[in-house]
Amino acid sequence: MRGASIPSLTEAWQRLQIIVTSWEGGQFEGPPDVDEATKERLRWIGQVMWHSPVHAQRIMAHAYAALLSVPEFIAEAHRRQPGRFSTVILRHAIANTAATMWQAFWIDFDPQGKLVPRDLVPFTGVLFTLHRHERPTLALPPKPTISPLPMAFFLFHIIKAAEFLAERRGICDPTLSEEHFRYLGWLLRRSGYHFPDDQTAIANVCHQVDELFARDHPEVRTCWHNLLAQSEALGLGISGQSIYDFLRTFLPCAASLFARCFGLSR
């Protein structure tokens, strides 16, 4: 709906937020309690999908590109932390979020990049502490939460970026991808956010976000340029073309904007 009025966009935003909050979740449950056999399975999934620290950061760079296509998502993040996506802060966000994601699969990497098992999963605590109004430590002041819609949108595109880059490494396993999706969705729900078990439901919402809210905007262009600059500073070896190919697969409106922003052929 290109050129929609502000009231209609506000109504659409509220409608999509209501859809997201109708999904499972919404109550903080804390870290998962899983048996050793399940941990081993999850470690294998994490090793295949997240692969290495650099690869994990590549996944996050692609997922952030999706998030940054929506001016409202940028504005919300910058109210929480000014400059989060438009300055060097984004470099640290990519690295820190990547670590949280691979650690969610009960794995870590030593300084030489060798995979090592871990016994704690910080995912739920990180989201609860950093992203919720309620703060478990009284010494920490209240902080505005990430609202349900951008959080669900972001996780879905983290998952899809992991799949997209796995396929580029020759890994295409629908069962593995479904397990990866369901596990991360379960962790997000345990963190107090809403996320469905049905991929069609979240894909439909993200399609509507792309149609309604992805648009040319100075903040979008600034943050996309910063994303590529910070990815280069991290030594990720990704190109604008790779990000465009990812966006084109899942968010055609965002992809078109990205191509125009960087002069890429479509």
Q: What is the pLDDT of residue 126?
A: 76
Main-chain dihedrals φ then ψ at residue 78, nearest 5 degrees: -75, -20
99 found inside a domain: yes
Do 122 and 59 form a contact (C-beta atoms < 8 A)?
A: no
265-to-13, 257, 261 alpha-carbon distances in Å: 31, 12, 11
pLDDT band (50, 70, 90) for residue 120 = confident
Q: What is the pLDDT of residue 263?
A: 94
Task: Please determine, for residue 131, whether its predicted confidence score (pLDDT) is greater than 70.
Answer: no
Q: CA–CA separation, 43 vs 55, rounded Å? A: 16
Residue 66 tokens read as 């999706």
Task: Please determine, for residue 139, whether its predicted confidence score (pLDDT) is greater than 70.
Answer: no
Alpha helices in the chain (DSSP H): 6-21, 36-50, 53-67, 71-80, 89-103, 123-131, 148-168, 174-190, 199-213, 218-233, 240-250, 252-262
Number of domains in the chain: 1
Three-state DSSP class for residue 146: coil
212 found inside a domain: yes
Give pTM, 2 decimals: 0.93
1 found inside a domain: no
Domain span including residue 182: 6-262
